[in-house]
Structures are given as structure tokens and as C-alpha cells.
Amino acid sequence: MDQTTPEATEIKLPKLQLGIAKTTSIHRDFDLTTSLNMDFRFAETNDIISSGTMSATPAFGFEVDYIKLVYLRGGVGNFQNLESLGGKGTNIGFQPNFGVGFRYKGIQIDYALTYIRDRSLALYSNVFSLELD
């Protein structure tokens, strides 16, 4: 059997993600959870905070739930410095996300709409998940 070695090896650099979240009751049937996290990469990237050895980008999010049954989620993250067309300065780009969820008797169904403002060929990404407990 003839096996060839791969032409390149992919090395994944470590990443650190720190976050905090707070849940408060906004009405007897509604709760609000807000979160903030910072993603650190140990390489220079186009994140809004970047040096020669490390870069970081914040992310913010929220979740409103109705009697722990229906969930509405939103957030923004992936803040990056983007070169403007023609190379005249930079703009700050970001990625908003939106989602809904449903949980009942050990069954959880979630939907998320991501990459809403991404500048790639794909306009957005639909993510569905199902969890059985």
C-alpha cells in the first residue's frame, strides 16, 4: 500500500477565552442574561487589540427567556481592523448574530443566524442544533 505524506501540517495555536455573565429577573416570567467575553490569540492578527505576540477581540451577548421555555438571543463579536478599499485607512468590522431557542422536557432546539454582516461570498450562515437530555 502506497501512502504519501501530507504536503503541509496544520498547527493550531492555543487560544484563551475569558468571560463573565449575569442573569437578572426582568419580570416574573422573564429573565435576562448578559455576557461579555474576550478572546485572546497568541499571534498577531487583525483583531482590534493586537501586538506582535498576542491579539484580542471582545464579544457581547444577551439572552431573554420566557419561563425557561423560549429563548431569544443576540450578540456581536469578531471585532477586526479591516482595510478600506483603495488602502486609505482602516475600518472596524464586526459580526452580529441572532438566535432563538426552545426547551421542553429534555428536548432543546436552537437556531442561530450568524455572519449577518460578513463580507465573504456567503451572506449568512444558518445553524440548527438539537439536544436530548
Residue 29 lies in a domain: yes
User: Does 5 map to a domain?
Assistant: no
Give the mean pLDDT of the chain.
87
Q: Does some domain include residue 37?
A: yes
Mean pLDDT of all residues in 114-129: 71
Question: Helix, strand, or coil here: 83?
Answer: strand
Residue 68 to residue 25: CA distance in whole angstroms: 12
- Strand 49-50 and strand 30-41: the pairing is unpaired
Q: Is residue 9 part of a domain?
A: no
Distance between CA atoms of 64 and 62, rounded to whole angstroms?
A: 7
Query: How many independent structural domains does the chain possess?
Result: 1
The pLDDT assigned to 73 comes to 97
Quote the pTM value.
0.75
Q: Is pLDDT above 70 for 1?
A: no
Q: Where are the beta strands (DSSP E) in the chain?
A: 15-27, 30-41, 49-50, 55-66, 70-83, 90-104, 107-114, 125-132
Q: What is the reported pLDDT for 5?
A: 62
* Measured distance CA(111)–CA(107) in Å, rounded: 14
7 is a domain residue: no
Q: Which amino acid is at 53?
A: T
Q: Which residue type occupies 22?
A: K
Q: Is 6 within a domain?
A: no
pLDDT in tens, 55-99: 999 999 999 999 999 999 999 998 888 877 776 777 888 889 999
25 within some domain: yes
* 54-74 exposure pattern, b = at least 16 Cβ within 10 A, e = fewer: ebbbbbebebebeeeeebebb
Output 107 or 47, whichever has higher pLDDT: 107
**Is 2 inside a domain boundary?**
no
The domain in which residue 57 lies consists of: 15-132
**Under DSSP, is residue 20 helix (H, G, I), strand (E, B) or coil?**
strand
